Structure formats: structure tokens, C-alpha cells
Structure 1
Amino acid sequence: MTTPFSPYQPLADALLAHLPDDGDGAHDLAHLVRVWRNVQRIAAEEGGDRELLLAATLLHDGVHVAKNDPRRDRASWLAAEQARNILDTLGWAASHIDAVAHAIESHSFSANITPQTLEARVLQDADRLDALGALGVARCFYTAGTMGSALYDVTDPQAHARALDDQRFTLDHFETKLLTLSEGFQTATGRQLAAQRHARLLAFREALLEEIGEPPVE
């Protein structure tokens, strides 16, 4: 029977056993399955060691830090350190542990670390794809709901006369982050997939603005 991580399901089972379920619906098992699917699509064209990629995929969000937590820019470092410990207990070679840890640490938008290996570039692209398109919209509003953010500023939805504040207004997050993501993809395959999903973000924003009586973005 085909499983989400076939043909590496035994490795997946060993790694997932170390990860707690913290109830974060934006970084849950479904997210890991989607990122792995993106990894496979990109790696089919770009290459990369699949076992290293699977380990990095499954462990990249191993330490959850909320978006509004002051430690947010250290989340990927914390996950990388946790991954080192997990892989060491499984008897992985030091060089492979280092490769996985680097991919995890550099995947994060907040960390702002340039990926230095093919596997790190593939993981970063695969993870960022899940922040774009219809899934990006869904995850954005899910996370905003957990933070108690409003959908938008009713007096100035497009922030014409105020500073953007995506901690308070979910729509602002499109400008502060989501609509910038497609510019930084590392692989040709990732850039192609990102362009498609970026267009879906733009279409959603245009529809939302129309429905709340706002003029389109110029």
C-alpha cells in the first residue's frame, strides 16, 4: 500500500515518533505531507538526496514558535538543534546530520539565511510553496485566527494612511510577506510553481477587496 512518504515510510515513522502533536493546524502532519509532495516535484527536476530531504522535511518545524513570539527568528535554529539530537540518536553520520540541520535552519523566512546546498534550496522552495496559493490563504487566515487578528482594518483596508500591521490585520500580511515570497525562490522549478500560486494570491486579494467595497490595487 502506498503511504504519504513511500518508499521511505520506515524512516518517516522513526522521525515522526519524536515529534509531538501541538495542535497547530498550519504546521501539522498535513503540512509535512504537502511539503514532501512539493519536495518530490522539485527534486524530480533539480535533484537532491531524498533521505536527507525527507529528514529535513519532517523535522523542519519540530519546534513550534508562534508568529507573534519574540523568539520567532530563532525557530528554525531551535528546530535544527532538535533535529541534530534526533538524528544522532538514530545513528546518522555527522556529515548527514549537518546537511539536514543546515537545510532546516535556512528554510525559514524569518531567519534570513541563504541556503548553501541543493537540499537546502529544495526544502526552502518546497516549504514556501505551501505559503502561497489557496493553501497560503487558508494557512494565513487560520494563523491569524489563533492570534486574534482582525480580517482587515475597516477604516483603511489597504493601509493608504497608516503603517502596515500584520499582527492586527490579516490582510496586511499579504503585503508584508505573502506577496513577496515568489521573488526569492532558489530553483527554476520552484520559481515556476511559485509564479502560479502567486497569481492565485493576487486573485484572492482582488476578490476580497471587491467584496468589501474597496477599489482594486493600482
Structure 2
Amino acid sequence: MEALRAELRAIIQREMEQDPAHDIAHLDRVWANAHRIAKSEQGVNLRVLLGATYFHDLVNLPKDAHNRAEASRMSAEKAAPFLTDLGFTSDEIKAAQHAIAAHSYSAGIPPESFEAEILRDADRLDALGAVGIARTFMVAGTMGRPLLDPNDPFAADRDLDDQLWSIDHWHLKLLQLPHEMVTEKGRKIARKRARLMLAYLKQLAKEMDTDLPDHWAKLLQ
């Protein structure tokens, strides 16, 4: 498995357009998450899971691209010849392609295999916890998007809008991810990481001499 992983990483370094939030380090973390979840599941094809993990962002489109929702399908298609060259069988390639296509939040494709469920959870876990906090800042900087609304930072009296304010994305999506995990292990890890993010928000509010509205904590109930 380590030899295959090294080959996959080498391909990614050549073929994948990388950005601060979607780079080889992201893929390594997703694999660590996936491997951790897979240990608690039965019947997982680790070879398929490994291949799908490292190719899931093979086509990496900007978050504001008009065809962003197609990126996972495009990645699945682009992955096929590489998987063939690596000796994957046709069944393994189809399984890896499904996992790649179904991992995407925006694609809306239901996962229909253990590998697809695990990859979806593992990728979403990388948007939570300490890494999730860091990635928020990286994406905000890349897109030139302010962290929060200086007049109402935590949307106490305004509508949430993550196209304007980065922290709003936590409320609209990230802190809701624990409820959307499909594996028991993924759900457990997600809840722990989301609690860390909520603690960060409480500290941030304190340093801004304001309060964190109750509707934030209710997301984790």
C-alpha cells in the first residue's frame, strides 16, 4: 500500500492544480481520516479507497467557478487512465470513480459503497477542527473575502451570507457537517472537531467584546 501511495502522490504532484486548501497535504490528511474510519468498518477495499482518495480532487476548480459542481465527475473521468496504468482492475476503477464522483458536497451524488461513504466523510472532516479553521482563513485570503461582518460579526440581527462573510460559511455548512456524516466513526470525529470550532468562535467573540448568539451552539445539538 505504501508503494501505491507513493505512486499516487507522484502523479498528483504532476497532474493536479493545487491551491492552499486543496493540495497534497489535504490529500494526505483525507487519507489519514479515511484510513482511520476504514479500520472501524468491515468489507472495505483499501486499494480502491486509497486510489479514490488521492484522485478525488484531480480536477480542482476554483470555488467560484461556474462548473464547480462538475469537478468530482471530471476528476473521476480523468482518474481512469492513471488507475489503469497502476494495475487497477476494471471493477476497481469503477468503484474508485464512483467514490470520487460521490465525495463532492455540491455534486449531490449519493454514496453507494463503503469506499464512497468513507471518502465523503473523510474529505468533509478536513473542513472541520483545527485544519478547518486554518482552511477558512486560507480560502478567505485567496478569494479576497472578509472574515466577518464588522457590524454584526455573528449574524445576530442579519441574514447569513457566506458569499460576503467567511465565518457565515461555518453556520451555513461546516458546523452542520456532523449531522451529515454517514459513518459512525466519521460522525464521532466530526462532532469533536465541530466543538473545537465552536469554542474558537466563543473566544473570538470574547476578544471582540461581544457575545456569540445562541443559534450557533444549537447547530451542534
C-alpha deviation, 1:85, in angstroms = 2.7
Q: Return closer, same or farther for 1:34/1:105 CA change in 2, 3 Å cut-off.
A: same
Q: Is it true that 1:135 corresponds to 2:128 in the alignment?
A: no
Counterpart AA for 1:62: L
Counterpart AA for 1:129: L
Q: 1:122-147: CA deviations, max 9, x gaps?
A: 11111111111111111111111100
Structure 2: distance between partners of 1:161 and 1:84: 49
Look up the match of 1:5: none
Counterpart AA for 2:65: D
Structure 2: distance between partners of 1:81 and 1:172: 33
Q: 2:96 aligns with which of 100, 120, 126?
A: 100
C-alpha deviation, 1:171, in angstroms = 0.9
Q: 1:176 aligns with which of 150, 157, 172?
A: 172
Comparing 21-30 with 139-148, greater Cα deviation is found at 21-30
C-alpha deviation, 1:217, in angstroms = 1.7
C-alpha deviation, 1:39, in angstroms = 1.2
Q: 1:117-172: CA deviations, max 9, x gaps?
A: 00111111111111111111111111111000001111222234443221221111
Structure 2: distance between partners of 1:61 and 1:84: 13
8 Å contact from structure 2 (residues 18, 60) kept in 1? no
Look up the match of 1:202: 198
TM-score when normalising by structure 1: 0.91
Structure 1: distance between partners of 2:142 and 2:129: 20
Structure 2: distance between partners of 1:57 and 1:122: 10
8 Å contact from structure 2 (residues 16, 60) kept in 1? no
Counterpart AA for 1:38: N
Q: Is it true that 1:56 corresponds to 2:52 in the alignment?
A: yes
Look up the match of 2:117: 121
Question: Does the residue aligned with 2:11 lie in a helix, a strand or coil?
Answer: coil
Q: 1:24-67: CA deviations, max 9, x gaps?
A: 12111111111111111111111311111110111011111111
Structure 2: distance between partners of 1:64 and 1:74: 10
Q: Which segments of 5 or more consecutive residues in structure 2 lack a partner in the other structure? A: 215-221
- Aligned residue pair count: 211
Q: Which segments of 5 or more consecutive residues in structure 1 lack a partner in the other structure? A: 1-7
Counterpart AA for 2:7: A
Q: 1:66-92: CA deviations, max 9, x gaps?
A: 111111111111111111232133342
Look up the match of 2:31: 36
Q: Is it true that 1:26 corresponds to 2:24 in the alignment?
A: no
8 Å contact from structure 2 (residues 130, 197) kept in 1? yes
Identity %, equivalent residues = 44
Structure 2: distance between partners of 1:23 and 1:122: 23
C-alpha deviation, 1:12, in angstroms = 2.0
Q: 1:77-117: CA deviations, max 9, x gaps?
A: 11111112321333422111110011011111111221000
8 Å contact from structure 1 (residues 165, 172) kept in 2? yes
C-alpha deviation, 1:181, in angstroms = 0.7
8 Å contact from structure 1 (residues 68, 167) kept in 2? no
CA root-mean-square deviation: 1.5
8 Å contact from structure 2 (residues 156, 213) kept in 1? no
